[in-house]
Homo-oligomer: A and B are copies of this chain.
Amino acid sequence: MPTIKYYLREGLLPAGVLTSPNQAHYDDEHLRRLRLVRALVDVGGLSIASVREVLAAIDTRDESLHNKLGAVQEAISQPSPVELDPLAIKDVQDFFARHGQTECVDVTESNVTHMLAAALSSARSVGHDSIKELLDPYLEGLKIIARADLDYVAQHRSPDDVIEAMVVGTLIGDTVLKAVRRLAHAQVSAEVLGDVPAPGRAD
């Protein structure tokens, strides 16, 4: 399997135990790690460099679980190449201020806040400044979702399993959310727009 060799060469999988010059033995932990790497690449769409960062964060043993989760979250949230619009940065700071964060937020300090400011900058660059109005209802819906995510992660016992559940749940969860959001859109659109003709169509 060339993929395993590639992951071994990239240092994403520990070497197996050689049982002959051409054969190596891989145990359950190897297989588990291989499946995790594949999920990160295939589902998360992460680069090899990002996978390495996630694995390093999982394997670090000298931080609190909360810090470790934060490091993993940063690794799986790459900063966008979009140039930040100062007005979009202000939108993010206002959003934080509305939710009790009174100190001024430096959006470049974290990949997550940078991702948010970049998305709002892109929206502004295509004339959709008012997308910022969505932040509060999004947070309201996402509180329900985050509570479910936490319940899911809490089903796992060892801290390593908790982190793996967080990574898999966050990345696969992003795709699940995207898909279910589109299904919700389709349902709402059918209810509201089902019989509105498009322009140019005979009415």
Contacts and interface: CB of A to CB of B under 8 A. Distances in A.
Interface of A: 32, 35-36, 38-39, 42-43, 60-70, 73, 77, 80-82, 112-113, 115-116, 118-120, 122-123, 125-128, 130-131, 133-135, 137-150, 152, 154-155, 158-160, 165-166, 168-170, 172-190, 192-201
A80 B182 CA distance: 15
Given A62-B198, A126-B35, A142 B73 contact: no
Contacts of A144: 137, 140-141, 144
Interface of chain A, main secondary structure: helix
8 contacts: A42-B122, A64-B193, A69-B189, A113-B179, A116-B176, A135-B176, A138-B180, A150-B188
Given A62-B201, A63-B201, A201-B61, A137 B148 contact: yes
A77 B119 CA distance: 18
Contacts of A128: 165, 168-169, 172
Given A130-B155, A141-B141, A147-B137, A185 B170 contact: yes
